Amino acid sequence: MSNGKATLAIEGKEPLELDVYQGTIGPDCVDVSSLAGQGVFTIDEGFASTASCESKITYIDGGAGTLLHRGYPIDELANNADYLEVCYLLLNGELPTKEEKKEFDDIVRKHTMVSENVANFFNGFRYDAHPMAMLCAVVAALSSFYHDSLDISDPEHREITTMRLISKMPTMAAMAYKHSIGQPSLYPRNDLDYSANFLYMMFGTPCEDYEVSPVLARAMDKIFILHADHEQNASTSTVRLAGSTGANPFACIASGIAALWGPSHGGANEAVVKMLEEIGDESNVDSAVLRAKDKDDPFRLMGFGHRVYKNFDPRAKVMKETCDEVLSELGIDDPLLKIAKRLEQIALEDEYFVEKKLYPNVDFYSGIILRAIGIPLNMFTVIFALGRTSGWLAHWNEMVSTNSRIGRPRQLYTGSPQRSYESIDKR
């Protein structure tokens, strides 16, 4: 029900009364859906002030630097839960009991393998295919392998597909990596937890045993948690828009992967490492910072500030601690990591950065961690997609179960008015 009314006055038209809705927390939303019948649209390029849906999953307060999953602060979840517990929370609305968690983990563990035909699918890609290209294509193709549960109106079918995707995504991500470096893929190991299993499939070989570091496995788990969901971002909105057509869930998640691939979205942590490579040496950091402050210089510091967060990115606090743990565990002497640490120090102390609140964000630290672990640049966004799959599925399930209308944005048309066709010899 509406919590109030707003009046829209347009010159030359009768005032329009619009419903105002109030969420649990956050800003009020003015319902403009009735404007179409009045010959009026709203325009909001980039949808910065438009709520595209009603959701109970994630809430962000950019000004306060708050990120809540089902009401729980992200730092509490990252420091106390594991990734599959967060998956359960996003999908079901509540944290699992001990029994529910065990059952959920068991289901995931038993469905990590993919069909051998899916594995063979990777052989059709060029040796140098980008892992995101492979992942996007293979996930879309899963609907041809698992078409026994594609009735999206059936809650049981939706649950089966959800569990299949969460279970198999690490396996497919690791297969994409192995194909890109010419190594054989490894079968998942059911004795390992979710994140340790992923690292095993990434870095293990058939030639020798591979022992997964608990510190690195926990760091990877935190990366998955911190990327699990982020409200109505570009890729999540893409999944919901594709899902509103009734498309099968594999196609919807593939559309999210495609949207995430963009450098302005999932490619941000990749851009951080490229920036560090461009700076080249710790001695160049101060001059790079001066260039970043110069509005006429095209150089930009990547991994600082955030479109949504006007304060410190709450995920970055957790990621910074994890970054320190990983670097201490590995004892790496990497010139790029020295550059990153110097940049971090400047951003936290320099008046220019503090005044503009250009704090290091989650992409800054996650890029450093992934590089330290040994994950190549072209796999960064794949890992983002792996973690975000649970959020995409939670939003897709929420949208389908509430029978949302098909998405159909409007536009402000600025092209030619109606005109008559002239034959080619008269033009």
DSSP string covering 294-326: -TTS----TTB--SS-SS--HHHHHHHHHHHHH
Task: Give CA angle at 362 (357, 366), nearest 5°.
Answer: 140
Q: How is residue 415 annotated by DSSP? A: S
pLDDT of 205-228, one tens digit each?
999 889 999 999 999 999 999 999
CA distance 347 to 427: 60
User: Model-level pTM?
Assistant: 0.91
How many alpha carbons fall within 13 Å on the CB side of residue 387?
23
Strands, DSSP E only, in 177-252? Answer: none
Local structure of 60: helix, strand or coil: strand
Given the residues 82, 105, 221, 363, select the one marked as catalytic. 363
Catalytic residue list contains 363: yes
CA distance 6 to 8: 7
CATH fold of 84-211+232-262+384-401: Citrate Synthase; domain 1 (1.10.580)
Q: What is the pLDDT of residue 87?
A: 98
**What value does the mean pLDDT take over residues 122-140?**
94
Local structure of 402: helix, strand or coil: coil
- Please say whether the structural domain 4-51 has been given the CATH code 2.20.28.60: yes
Catalytic residue list contains 265: yes
16 has which bridge partners? 8
Would 4-51 and 84-211+232-262+384-401 be classified into the same CATH topology?
no
Task: Give residue limits of the domains in the chain.
Answer: 4-51, 84-211+232-262+384-401, 268-373
pLDDT of 373-390, one tens digit each?
999 999 999 999 999 999
Given the residues 265, 286, 334, 395, select the one marked as catalytic. 265
Per-residue pLDDT at 334 exceeds 80: no
Per-residue pLDDT at 95 exceeds 80: yes
Q: Which two tokens stand for residue 45?
A: 């390029």
CA distance 235 to 265: 8
Class of 268-373 in CATH:
mainly alpha
How many alpha carbons fall within 13 Å on the CB side of residue 358?
20
Q: Which two tokens stand for residue 127?
A: 């040796």
Min mean pLDDT across 173-177, 248-252, 269-273 is at 269-273
Q: Which two tokens stand for residue 49?
A: 């002030």
Distant-in-sequence, close-in-space partners of 422: CB < 8 Å, separation ≥ 6: none
Catalytic residue list contains 306: yes
Is 306 or 66 the better-scoring residue by pLDDT? 66
pLDDT of 137-174, one tens digit each?
999 999 999 888 888 999 999 999 999 999 999 999 99
Tell me if 349 sits within 8 A of 384, measured CB to CB: no
Name the average pLDDT for the chain: 91
| Phi, psi torsion values for 362, nearest 5 degrees | -60, -30
CA distance 267 to 262: 6
Length of the chain: 427
How many other β-carbons are positioned within 10 Å of the β-carbon of residue 410? 10
How many other β-carbons are positioned within 10 Å of the β-carbon of residue 62? 14
Q: What is the pLDDT of residue 2?
A: 64
Amino acid present at 334: D
